[in-house]
Structure 1
Amino acid sequence: MKINSFLTLLFIFGVSSLRAQQPNIVWITSEDNSIHYMKLFDSNGVETPNIERLAQHGVKFNRTFSNTSVCSAARSTLITGVYGPKLATHYHRAEQKITLPENIKMFPEYLRNAGYYTTNNLKEDYNIYKGVDVWDDSSKDANWKNRKNGQPFFHVYNIGTTHEGIVHFSEEKMKSSSTITAIDSVFIQPNHPNTQNFKYTNAFYRDQIQKMDTEVGQVIKALEEEGLLKNTIIFYYADHGGVLPNSKGYLKETGLHVPLVVYLPEKYKNLSPFSIGSSTNAFVSFVDFGATVLNLAGIEIPKTIDGKPFLGKNIKAKKLVKQDEAFGYADRFDEKYDMVRSLRKGNLKYIRNFQPFNIDGLMNNYRYKQLAYSEWKSLFDNGQLRPIQSSFFEPKTSEELYDVENDPFETINLANNPAYTKERSQLRNILNSWIKKMPDLSFYPEYYLIKDAFKNPIAFGKAHRKNINRYLKIANLQLTSFEKAKPKLLKYLKSSDELERLWALTVCSSFGEKAKEFSLEIEKIMSSDTLLLNRMRATEFFAITGIKDTSYEMINILYQSKNETEALLILNAIVLQRDFYQKLDFMIDITKIDNRVRENKLIVERLKYLELK
């Protein structure tokens, strides 16, 4: 045999040997369910025998977090391994997709470049322009079967059975249809009203989780029948928390704390630092999933990925179990705006509300298609809720702190409890450091980011890091007394920096009537500020405090907006004032709204709601 032929055969053998050692990896992703409804993780949940069998032959991760609580933002974190506020991928759904910098890729592209066959069936839902090299196939027919002989594969299988849309049933269906799960047997969260509606929704949802488990079993069976199970590592997880009110779209544990089970066949059990059939309380997040898959495949993890691997070679259990932190973020979900960040550390959960005057229960059209949401709001309006149930429809505090082991539904705020002063300070500092490190782009308005940051958000963040740190410093004046904040607030209200004025106004609204001594300065901003958003925040201050009726001014500000995302934020303020503060009617003349603005889908939703009310 010629030496060249021999070397060619040796090379082919070497590549084949490498491929033979690389595991197939399958992600089975269910939509919209947290740990609270599966018996494998919570005693109040239902049995999921197929997922439970995966856990018997794998590892159960008890502390897994989706980083954010809605699909497009969560999936954007999953596919990049980069925190959403750093990339501006955390809005649901973005009015425009962001462009990834050249040095950041969707991680399946690294797998594909290393010889993996990559497929996705079916849902993508990224807030990012997708490269052509991410998937060999992403469609309803995508499967591992079309790969080359012996080629390792990475396959994502999405299950929509538990998606929020399944609980958008009518009253007629609720009255006429029974559930497999006994309605009177279900656990009702303490912050929810214990009504027949909530009981039925809980039971119906648990039925769907059991249907989803059957679909998980079908994927496993297909792998087994093709003789692939012995070479395939399987992740089962949910793409974020559940569909019941105050879960999806919120930074509660029911929105962020998701199930994760990883099955490892005998030949790959050495890739887990934990023994097969065990569980761990090590904290892992979606930002870690891409790094973990690359590590399992033996592929070098790019430095641009924020996450750290929790499986694969050179991962030590002793180090992992010390991981006890997970970060969360929430901004605009559909037409509803807010800005919230969270940190779970051990058994404590810290939530930072940057706009605490925003009401969690503010109308979101998709959420309120669920009868349970509508009933909850109606009970609140009629004064039929206990205080623990009413808080969803009331202004928040700037800081929240919960012991989630003893208070899993976050009902007792410990932020001002003297016994937790040290812990609150520690978690506040960790969260602030994380915000600065990214840096968090949300300190700029969304419409500003779309215009100036979406073509390269990383470069924008680096160039504006000092500004972001300064705006954070202003926002954190909320966390001190008004007397201490007062001289600094006056300085920032008069600042030549438009966004310094914006954040000073936001802080003033957070202080409410305490800040009424700034009324003259804020009135100047309302009438003549160069930034339309500042004029809106000024009118919002007067509406929140009740100092004066500014509905006319707010409507005219809406008419002046030529930007859909800016106008959406103005409408958010209008709905907030109409439903929860001054409760005035806003007589909007749709013909005076900019043509392009009023054609926007989310704007249409808001205007439709304002007309129907």
Structure 2
Amino acid sequence: MINIYFYRPIQFKVIMNPLRLILLVAITMLSACAQKQEKIEHPNIVWITSEDNSKHYLKLFDDNGIATPNIEALAEQGVIFDNAFSNAAVCSAARSTLISGIYGPRISSHYHRRLQQVPMPNNVEMYPAYLKQAGYYTTNCYKEDYNIIKSDTVWDSSSKKATWRNRKPGQPFFHVFNIMTTHESRVHFTQEDYETKKTNANPKDYSVQPNHPDTKLMKYTNAWYRDKIVQMDTEVGQVVDELKKDGLMDDTFIFYFSDHGGVLPGSKGYILETGLEVPMVVYIPEKYKHLVNIKAGTRNDGFVSFVDFGATLMNIAGIKIPEGIDGKPFLGKNISAKELSDRDETFSYSDRMDEKYDMVRGYRKGKYKYLRNFQPINYDGLMNNYRYKQLAYKEWSELNEAGKLNEVQSQFFNTKAPEALYDIEADPYETKNLANDPALKNKLVELRGLLTNKMETINDLSLYPEFYLIKNAFNNPAAFGKTHQADIKQYLSVANLALEDFKTAKNKIEKYLNSKDSWERYWAINACTSFGKQADQFVKNAIKISENDSELINRVKAAEFLGAIGNKNPVKVMTQALYDSKDPNEALLMLNSIVVMQDGFDYKFNLEKEKLATVYTEPQAVRRLDYLGVK
């Protein structure tokens, strides 16, 4: 039987059998799909990233900030993000989250400086690789500073000379431009500078933070740094001028933001809002304004964080967001301004900062910020060589030693509470811990639960000491976390005994002090240290651990507890453990406890250089030894 069909697009009569018709329809549909695929729009995207400046320094975000006319000009045709956050408060940890879209503690990319780089999880790439696969020309000028192993699939060019101008004709591009002008090192001015150089910004025009001493030097440092902000803003303008020169402003999204907060004392390296909350403006090009559901010239108070940035770029560019990353987009056709504004949560983390160890996790929801200090004996002001190159840091410490600081200003040099709760709207510099306020008990419990859930969900690897992870997990940290998910959850529950009433917690602490699991013992002894003298009934347990535990670090931590409560001098145990260690990374952690005992509790150490051959193979440990006077 012969059927007659009319195929209208060709405009003449054809005769064919059903099979030929099916083939023709399929070809037509494929052609239509291909044409539709070709219509996917790939706008250019430029990131301008400044170093180490929180939003508190820019007048666009804070009355105590300085004017930045070039960034403000971008905002006129863009969106000001009033709640943009880095997830970490120091360069390599922050940038590792940024480039990967993965929370640092899930893959151990959050230690600064890295002792060893870690790989991305299986089947996941750094986000520029996906842009590159979609046809983008990807360039970075020029800082990377990743704690993650980078593949060749990420950048077409990453150097001081990297530019979008080397792309093929008509090729969309993604370009990162880094500005070092506001980096912490730029505040390492000398005493001579302080005495002879005037700042353009008037020191009297900027108030000193309530946690800082209101001194002439601190005021000068405020002004000096605001001069750097102005210089940085000029450099932002220079990048924009180059885009204008090339006629690219109508089809290029421009993101301006800082790589984390800082750089005045107590900001960079600490997950307070001054260390985390960054200035961010996104310029929306006229040609592609339909790709986002947010009006230019507006502000948005939704919470966005670095883990979301890669997903956002892919969403704008019409690229499918891969499974395996933690971030979610905050701009795109599928994101409404209201949905964005309703976002009010962010997660943050801090661990080793150069030679200084700590473990702090933060969770903010709305105006309330929760901090969990897992090792509160590691007070914030503990010696960190690079921090104390800044004259204002030195003065702050000297005034503390002289007893010339008030209660708020001296908090930086005191041991911390295991948990803290702050009302950021009322107390933006986090000076008043509300964790014991009965009226906020429910809020405390809520945020504590949100943080615990987040740490369990991502398999937070810091429940193991870093040196152990390097030896056992760094070939594939994400896989290690999945395999040891139950263990991590258990160690977190042991660590969180420090948050319970001691009478409730003591029987469980005793159980875990006697556990066969090394890291249950580790967290049980840390819980004892958090309780302080309340836990003195465990002195015998601690002495036993300090003398013969199978893990040298547990001996050190037990000695730390005994020294902190004044029961037993920790010097002999800590010194011998340091000599016995064959792992320089383990030794670095031990040295942290030694400095805590020396500076915080006045114990005297006399280390013998000839017994420290292993330690001297780790440069950051050498900094500790230099500070301790080992020659």
Distance 1:231 1:20 in 2: 14
Q: Does the CA-based 8 Å contact 2:615-2:622 persist in structure 1?
A: no
Q: Is the aligned partner of 1:181 residue 2:201?
A: yes
| Structure 1 counterpart of 2:621, from 591, 600, 603 | 603
1:85-124 maps to which residues of 2 (within 5 A)?
A: 85-124=105-144
Q: Secondary structure at the match of 1:321?
A: helix
Picking from 596, 601, 608, the partner of 1:589 is 608
Cα RMSD between the aligned structures? 1.6
Aligned mates of 2:249, 2:315 — CA distance in 1: 20
Structure 2: which amino acid aligns with 1:584? Y
CA contact (8 A) 1:325 1:345 kept: yes
94-103 vs 36-45, which deviates more?
94-103
Alpha-carbon contact 1:100-1:455 (below 8 Å) kept: no
Q: Cα offset for 1:201?
A: 0.6
SS at match of 2:302: strand
Q: What letter corresponds to residue 132 of structure 1 in structure 2?
A: D
SS of 1:302's equivalent in the other structure is coil
- Between the aligned partners of 2:393 and 2:38, the Cα distance in structure 1 is 53
Structure 1 residue ranges without an equivalent (≥5): 1-6
> Deviation above 3 Å: which 4+ runs of structure 1?
13-20
Separation in 2, partners of 1:129, 1:473: 32
Q: CA deviation at 1:428?
A: 0.5
1:450 is aligned to 2:470? yes
1:357 to 370, 377, 395: 377
**Alignment CA distance shift 1:400-1:464 (3 Å):** same
Q: CA deviation at 1:496?
A: 0.5
Which digits, 9 at most, give the CA deviation of each residue in 1:262-308, with x for residues without a partner?
A: 00111111222221100010000000000000011110001111111
Partners of 1:112 and 1:148 in 2: how far apart?
13
| 1:549 counterpart = 2:569 | yes
In structure 2, what is the equivalent of residue 386 of structure 1? 406
Aligned length: 602
Aligned: 1:366 with 2:364: no
Supply the distance in 2 between the matched residues of 1:43 and 1:107 (Cα, whole angstroms): 36
CA distance in structure 2 between the partners assigned to 1:149 and 1:17 by the alignment:
20
* 434 and 17 in structure 1: CA distance in 2 versus 1, 3 angstrom threshold: closer
Q: Which residue of 2 aligns with 1:291?
A: 311
User: Distance between the aligned counterparts of 1:610 and 1:265, measured in 2?
Assistant: 55
Distance 1:196 1:540 in 2: 38
Q: Is contact 1:539-1:554 (8 Å) kept?
A: yes
SS in 1 for 2:314: helix
Q: How does 1:222-233 map to 2 (within 5 A)?
A: 222-233=242-253
The one-character-per-residue Cα deviations of 1:458-495 (angstroms, maximum 9, x if unpaired) are 11010111001101111111111111111101100000
Query: What do the CA deviations read for 1:60-103 (whole angstroms, capped 9, x no partner)?
Result: 11000100100000000000100000010010011000012331
Query: Which has the greater radius of gyration?
Result: 2
Quick one: distance in 1 between partners of 2:536 and 2:302?
A: 47
Q: 1:72 to 1:109 in 2, by over 3 A?
A: same
Inter-CA distance 465–16: structure 2 relative to 1 (3 Å threshold): closer
1:173-572 to 2 correspondence within 5 Å?
173-572=193-592
In structure 2, relative to structure 1, the CA distance for the partners of 1:577 and 1:468 (3 Å cut) is same
1:152 to 163, 172, 187: 172
Q: Distance in 2 between matches of 1:264 and 1:163?
A: 27
DSSP-derived class of the 1:281 partner: strand
- Partner of 2:99 in structure 1? 79
Aligned mates of 1:272, 1:255 — CA distance in 2:
29
Q: Does 1:134 align with 2:149?
A: no
Counterpart of 1:611 in 2: which secondary structure?
coil
Question: What CA distance in whole angstroms lies between the structure 1 residues aligned with 2:163 and 2:96?
Answer: 22
State the shift of 1:455 in Å. 1.0
Q: Which amino acid aligns with 2:402?
A: N
| Contact kept in structure 2, 1:19 and 1:152, CA below 8 Å | no
Q: Deviations over 1:339-394 (max 9, x none)?
A: 00001110111101011111100000000000111110100001000000000000
Pairing 1:69–2:69 present: no
By how many angstroms is 1:319 displaced?
Answer: 1.8
Q: In the TM superposition, what is the alpha-carbon distance from 1:21 to its structure 2 partner?
A: 2.8
Give the TM-score normalised by structure 1. Answer: 0.96
Q: Structure 2, unaligned stretches of length 5 or more?
A: 1-26
User: In 2, Cα distance between the equivalents of 1:206 and 1:503?
Assistant: 43
* Equivalent position amino acid for 2:44 in 1: N
What secondary structure is seen at the aligned counterpart in 1 of 2:264? coil
1:140-169 deviation per Cα after TM superposition (whole angstroms, max 9, x unaligned) = 000001100000000000000000000111
Q: Deviation of residue 313 (structure 1)? A: 2.0
Using structure 2 for the length normalisation, give the TM-score: 0.94
Structure 1 stretch displaced more, 331-340 or 15-24 = 15-24
Separation in structure 1 between the aligned mates of residue 444 and residue 135 of structure 2, nearest angstrom: 48
Percent identity at matched positions?
56
Q: Does the 8 Å contact 2:585/2:618 carry over to 1? A: no
Partner of 1:21, secondary structure, is coil
CA deviation map 1:6-64 (0-9, x unaligned): x9xx99x9799948831000000000000101000001100000000111101011000
Q: Which amino acid aligns with 1:609?
A: Y
For the residue of structure 1 that corresponds to 2:393, the secondary structure is helix
Q: Would you say the 8 A contact 1:19–1:151 is kept in 2?
A: no
Secondary structure in 1 aligned to 2:226? helix
1:314 offset after TM fit, Å?
Answer: 1.2
The separation in 2 between residues aligned to 1:268 and 1:292, in whole angstroms, is 15
Amino acid at match of 1:315: I
